[in-house]
A and B are shown apart, each in its own frame.
Chain A
């Protein structure tokens, strides 16, 4: 019976407001002819109101709603039901008072509007009908190991994805997630799932059910928790759900924490420099480069950083460096593989502050040129395959803090020098290549019979 409430209420709202409208319209000459239908409409609306009140009463007793807020709606609803019954009576036995029906309909319409609004607040939330909703500022806190798990991470998640149904005004399944005490109390089935023995929080169980499961939370169709959110909530619950737990107590991997941060500061990846203030380049600025035959692309659509590929231009030489004027800050990757550049080009290359990837393979560059790279502090990847670089040139790379990998296949670097270089730059991966694969036969070991 209770479930019918949201359905039934629409009849009295529409019918009673229509009756009032016709009553007003009836004052004019053209509207007179409709007056005869008003008693019937009022009668139907009144019955609807009584049914609504009844079904609402049952719904309230199911107890998903906070008492104080539902009380007001209940009282207005009862008043509406009684009022409409009285109004029906006024049509049947009209007293000799002028405009009594119009006044009655007006009063009833006010009842309808107030009751409806209060009911709407219950289902859709308090701020549902405010037009200039204050935009919720999502807190941009970078997580560190001492972040409070509940207050800084979980509470905002609950706030965003759960309290609409499990909060102050509405408590589906008698569960409230607005305060930590209420979280620990759990809903009508308690905090734990199954027996105490398993000690698994019911919430963890519900979150992990497949989406198609009726008991899955948040329900299908609502905003779902992300995998990360689930993991954090799960761990927090399994460790006793204390408000004092810090992020480090959850013993999540460093990677997990940094990945969460990454999601917060969009598009900040380890592969590329972070350039929050740089604007994207206009297409017209790139036309001369493209006309020259280079492949010039932003890292991602709308990204300010560019990757440039000159690989197919066998006539690309030192003087082509001028084409990049004005784009210095935007170049994050440049591929000059197999071009005719020499050490001179390293001059303009070293003036690229955000350069992260540099391909110089199969070019004429030497140690002298490489020494100029000292200031490209964002450099992570350096390809020197097929060049005449020696260990002397490599030494000069030690001032690059982020350097991750250097490829030296078919260069002049000798393997015996590498131990020392590696010691100077322990974090860098040097690949001298020249791998040989001995042809192996399958090492079949016959088992004892």
Chain B
């Protein structure tokens, strides 16, 4: 090499010239041929033993209803995710001992080696503010924050000692919904629609409803399809106004014309598919067709204002406004019509105590008011329609709250609040094969660590899949040369809460 500096054009020219040399060709061949020879070997390892999982995806009919491994009890899921993490110590996990310790400094032994999101130094213990009672025949503890839900406590099965390993919202939400704290994995709803398809060809199989305000911290990835074909990602409906935009034909366009134009687009797409063979093109075609069918069926299903007045009274819905209750009622309508997975996200549960809205005394009370009656109505409404047996309702969040009062930056907070807590929190399930009136798991006297029935996020996911009829260990999708699972290498079905 000479030391003369090459201009950009000269360098490009040189590279171009190199490409034509025999030396470079042979050099690249030596590695390239090896890789070429190796690739079928890799495929031989995966496709042979797991060939069946790949056939689940039929690009022309991606949402065709499919059969699970085992007879499942649940046919659909309504997942109520309280983004931000409600305080289990105020709602369900009764700790009288913690009340006695209120205001005392937290013992060093609890803090040793622990990391918190905001707590610094030595915080004070914070007694529970909830007034707890044992409810129903099952004697489940539900506090005064949830007076309506307390009335249906016998329908619920509580997991009191769930733990996660993430204490920040975004990664914890991802872990809960996709089985990995990092981006890129398919969400629970995507897995389920991939595995079971949808029983209603005119509606999406996986619908996401958010109740206004903020989207979850982890963004849309919590309902993303990851490496699964994108047709399985959640369809996010608008929380305000029309749930799905552009369902009405534009002025001067009638149904036939619309059909003709979609047919033309699909014809063009089919040509593209013939040329490039990208399965995503087929997904696109099926989405156009679905959109056309949705024009007919969706306005009806998505419109909650047609429901009778006593149903609105029951749910506490106000059609036209952004609210969690509206979404809950919509979820029931969707499930009734055969939608496989309805994912609700509510926001504003991050009760740190740094403002009235995030205080345990005021903010949490208001949040509970927004969901308590609606969720109770959902349970009873599904029940009276004979659908609770086959609809699994999951209520939970990404983690729980500490038994200590938050002392952000070592300062005293204006309101009572708690920091993020990953070691123990409460999730409940209802219907769909979950055993009614059970409580599984127990935390220590102050609700810091699980002492019995400790379950992980993966165990919860494995249980949900089990109720739908999947064996979570063999339900895989081949990606990057190996089969992937929602629960990765973890997860045990929580048998004590199965009916």
- Residues of chain A at the chain B interface (Cβ within 8 Å): 227, 267, 269, 271-272, 295, 297-301, 303, 309, 311-312, 359, 361, 381, 383, 385, 405, 407, 409, 431-437, 439-445
Contact = CB atoms under 8 A, between A and B. Distances in A.
12 contacts: A271-B73, A297-B65, A297-B66, A385-B385, A385-B386, A407-B384, A435-B314, A435-B384, A437-B148, A437-B373, A439-B373, A442-B147
A9 to B, nearest CB: 33
Given A267-B71, A269-B71, A441-B147, A295 B199 contact: yes
A299 B368 CA distance: 39
A437 B71 contact: no
B235 interface: no
Contact of B389 (A312, A405, A436): A405
Contacts of A312: 199-202, 337-338
Nearest to B199: A295
Most-contacted residue by chain B among A383, A434, A436, A437 (CB, 10 A): A437
B69 A434 contact: no
Given A300-B469, A312-B200, A405-B389, A440 B69 contact: no
A432 to B, nearest CB: 8
Contact of B144 (A311, A359, A432, A443): A443
A309 B71 contact: no
Contact of B67 (A269, A297, A385, A440): A297
B225 to A, nearest CB: 23
A441 B368 CA distance: 11
Contacts of A381: 386, 389
A299 B314 CA distance: 35
B384 A445 contact: no
A431 B144 contact: no
B11 interface: no
Interface string B373-395: 10011001101111001000000
B495 A227 contact: yes
Contact of A299 (B71, B131, B147, B148): B71
B147 A440 contact: yes
Contacts of B377: 435, 437
B365 interface: yes
Given A227-B495, A407-B386, A300 B67 contact: yes
B70 interface: yes
A383 B201 CA distance: 23
Determine which residue in A271, A300, A431, A442 has the highest number of CB atoms from chain B within 10 A of its CB, and name it.
Answer: A442
Interface of B: 65-73, 131, 144-145, 147-148, 151, 199-202, 310, 313-314, 316, 337-338, 365, 368, 373, 376-377, 380-381, 383-386, 389, 469, 495
Given A312-B338, A437-B151, 14 more contacts: A269-B71, A300-B72, A301-B69, A381-B389, A383-B386, A385-B384, A405-B389, A409-B384, A437-B376, A437-B377, A442-B144, A442-B145, A442-B368, A443-B144
A154 to B, nearest CB: 21
A415 to B, nearest CB: 13
Contacts of B386: 359, 361, 381, 383, 385, 405, 407, 409, 431
A259 B148 CA distance: 35
B131 A445 contact: yes
Nearest to A296: B65
Given A295-B199, A437-B380, A444 B71 contact: no
Interface secondary structure of B, over-half rule:
loop
Contacts, number: 99
Nearest to A404: B389
A443 B373 contact: no
A444 B385 contact: no
Contacts of B380: 435, 437
Nearest to B73: A271
Nearest to B369: A442
A405 B431 CA distance: 14
Contacts of B145: 442
Nearest to A383: B386
A440 B147 CA distance: 7
A437 B384 CA distance: 13
Nearest to B433: A271
B202 A442 contact: no
Contacts of A432: 384
Contacts of B201: 312
B127 to A, nearest CB: 11
A272 B71 contact: yes
A227 to B, nearest CB: 7
B147 A431 contact: no
Most buried by B among A295, A383, A435: A435
A301 B68 contact: yes
A433 B384 CA distance: 4
A409 B380 CA distance: 11
Contacts of B310: 436
B70 A444 contact: no
B471 to A, nearest CB: 10
Contacts of B70: 267, 300
Contact of A436 (B69, B314, B385): B314
A129 B201 CA distance: 57
